[in-house]
Structure 1
């Protein structure tokens, strides 16, 4: 079963998907030439074909149904935990992965960091794979005797039916702030895409929502499944008591009904306290032992590209984070400013992705300027857009002049690192551990991490 005509081999079924940039129906001829023996299409007139054509209303939905059937509905034999929301998906997934493995469950993590599972290659692709790749991965994990899957579920995946035939046992909602508005028509359309995950839950599943988010309780109304809530402040929900957040980490007690979890984590920031709350809520719902949950949180000391700290030879610190939304900027930079010494400088290196929501560009500059001593504006995956134009739109959000614009990200990052002194913090936002710049639809090797390593 193939979605890409260039991958078709003799005897394959080709499903033609109308995409945002190209239409699979234009490649039906290529697929047949490569050996496809049947086609699923949306009924568009593509002329007379030499192989059977199955016409459906929604090829994306059909792809999900066919893939699940072809691979034998593997998620029926797995415990699948889906995490959706604008921010916090990767960190929450990593925390849960640590808890479940600590509890002795053979667990796989799927998401922005790739497939993290013993014996599998960790190759980062989309946050959520296409429906055929996803069902194939589930099938391989089932056959390798994995029992639990922790996966990030993106709004694109929900809108495009990539997870329509995944049987989720638990769904977690982290938060919702404006993002992907280049794809979704509005914030309401974005919310509705997220809500699909909760509408598809069967009665025997569990929904877990962040009540502190303005959309949390509304999301809880979307499902017929039993619902648990967690909150920063509401004592009726799963919540923190005696919470202490400092440069050394997050410490406190989480109250979940009659059970109190003692939390000690080296992660920092209020937003990470919220991520810990979400992960503990899921583990609590699954009935994981108290000690296993506490120990699992403690063992998850760092998440690649998420507030990842690198001590530099000059006594400064580089902090690498994948933040690429105004909300994430506010949380990450607010935390770094809070934990930094009074006379220390905070340098911020950032850019904005091309072919993505342009309205957030000046907003990110506005937020960065509030916290930063100096900002270093650089390209960050300009894709098909002009990087100079992106930078121009970013700097429209600055009210002062404490910024420098660079045509090359390497030069901007090196300038920030060279300026830093003892106790200073250099925040490098947007790319995390990515190893490329996407320029004119071509991926050229580039790594923030490689540059940081030279200054250690």
Structure 2
């Protein structure tokens, strides 16, 4: 280990790269044996791109220094040590759960970002000092994170708020991070194509607790059944903090006063204090999300009155319950894509609609097993349904449609833009259209290669364009 560190110091790399295509002059290329691809095969390409060294798990005939480690995990550990553990210089807040991760992480970032000292990473990409960068996965690989933490350290940031997916936890992508706060929004059922069982999915989520520092704390939703297993996993090793809109005994209780598609009014109850808060986030699930953000902010030392004031000026999360209105018609663009989140959203929409409820939805190619349940739920809770594409990932669209609607009861349109245009034209005054699945995304993964997305205009841009034509 010491010899490898000395050799790294001698190379003095600019950055460490996993993708040979991303290598630039002065970088070190790090090889990894994956399940589908072995990046050792691209070492020569990395050298041609300007790599000054290679970290590999076997000897390679390359014209630059090749540092050999027994496995990729060891490679990351050595790089972390070389960089002097940059992640430890930040307050690390990890947010996981089946639903709500993006809204909570994005919102919490804003609560903590008074002096541009917080960074967000997750489904929306990364946001640092006002600059957005897209990323392939909700939670990046461990090497990307180390490079990022080094940059954050150099910028003088104090907080990193990140979504942590079940895939990332199962694949050890966050092994180099020790969290100060672990926040659980809820754990229901999702990604069974990968985890195979609800229990395995839940166990993957719970691994976030094992990534905590000894002084770490756990925040959980007392209204979600998962609080039982979360408390059992903590077993007095870590302090816990609960939030609820149903149970006044929670550490933070949110009493809902008013609720609409435009926002809500809540009274926070915390340690004998009461604080009124008007949220511009619609629906009950966003009250839960606001309580989660508030809990983390309180744990970070922000007074309750300040938390409430900041929540009142919280920006809308892109593609999450974005509402547009025109001549008595309402359109909601939302990222809801699993059965639980779709059912919750549509049930709440049923309560606020004045006319018909129209729904546009698809399922991704890797969630085919969930299609029947999602299709059934949408047909039950909607007056008009259009099934369309949502990242088919190489799965034939007709096969996805057959799973969503085996009885061929609903309209299908593979072109998502045409599906939205048609639905908006069919709407009458009082109707409500819900467009599920993609949120703010401006791409489609038509093939299984997620490194090659197909540009897509985006649900939000299409809605705005259609409404301007109707004006």
Provide TM-score, normalisation by structure 2: 0.87
Unaligned runs of 5+ in 2: 1-15
Q: Deviations along 1:181-227, whole A, 9 cap, x unmatched?
A: 22223222222221121112122121111122222221233232211
Pick which of 210-219 and 359-368 moved more: 210-219
8 Å CA contact retained: 2:89, 2:153: yes
Give the match for residue 170 of structure 1. 181
Label 1:33 to 1:406 Cα distance change in 2 as closer, same or farther (>3 A): same
Question: Per-residue deviation at 1:394?
Answer: 0.9
8 Å CA contact retained: 1:375, 1:404: yes
Question: Per-residue deviation at 1:40?
Answer: 2.7
Question: Per-residue deviation at 1:325?
Answer: 0.3
Is 1:432 matched up with 2:439? Answer: yes
Is 1:77 matched up with 2:92? Answer: no
Is 1:40 matched up with 2:51? Answer: no
Label 1:287 to 1:371 Cα distance change in 2 as closer, same or farther (>3 A): same
Report the secondary structure of 2:157's partner residue.
coil
Pick which of 17-26 and 283-292 moved more: 17-26
8 Å CA contact retained: 2:359, 2:436: yes
Pick which of 174-183 and 253-262 moved more: 253-262
Equivalents in 1 of 2:27, 2:127: separation in Å?
29
Question: Per-residue deviation at 1:7?
Answer: 3.3
Question: Per-residue deviation at 1:326?
Answer: 0.3
8 Å CA contact retained: 2:55, 2:75: no
- The number of residue pairs the alignment matches comes to 443
8 Å CA contact retained: 1:9, 1:36: no
8 Å CA contact retained: 1:100, 1:296: no
Is 1:24 matched up with 2:31? Answer: no
Which of these residues, 340, 365, 390, is aligned with residue 380 of structure 1? 390
Label 1:411 to 1:120 Cα distance change in 2 as closer, same or farther (>3 A): closer
Question: Per-residue deviation at 1:53?
Answer: 5.1
8 Å CA contact retained: 2:245, 2:256: no
8 Å CA contact retained: 2:335, 2:439: yes
Deviant stretches of 4+, over 6 Å: 46-50
Q: Deviations along 1:44-100, whole A, 9 cap, x unmatched?
A: xx787775452425x1x3354244334332222222211111110111112212322
Label 1:445 to 1:5 Cα distance change in 2 as closer, same or farther (>3 A): closer
Label 1:350 to 1:242 Cα distance change in 2 as closer, same or farther (>3 A): closer
8 Å CA contact retained: 2:421, 2:466: no
Which of these residues, 254, 257, 265, is aligned with residue 279 of structure 2? 265
Q: Deviations along 1:91-125, whole A, 9 cap, x unmatched?
A: 111221232235x5622221111122225333243
Which of these residues, 139, 143, 161, is aligned with residue 128 of structure 1? 139
Provide TM-score, normalisation by structure 1: 0.90
Is 1:417 matched up with 2:424? Answer: yes
Question: Per-residue deviation at 1:173?
Answer: 0.6
Give the match for residue 220 of structure 1. 231
Pick which of 374-383 and 247-256 moved more: 247-256
Which of these residues, 370, 387, 407, is aligned with residue 380 of structure 2? 370
8 Å CA contact retained: 1:209, 1:217: no
Give the match for residue 294 of structure 2. 280
Report the secondary structure of 2:258's partner residue.
strand
Label 1:148 to 1:47 Cα distance change in 2 as closer, same or farther (>3 A): closer
Is 1:329 matched up with 2:342? Answer: yes
Is 1:289 matched up with 2:303? Answer: yes
Give the match for residue 86 of structure 1. 98
Aligned residues: CA RMSD: 2.3
8 Å CA contact retained: 1:63, 1:132: no
Is 1:208 matched up with 2:219? Answer: yes
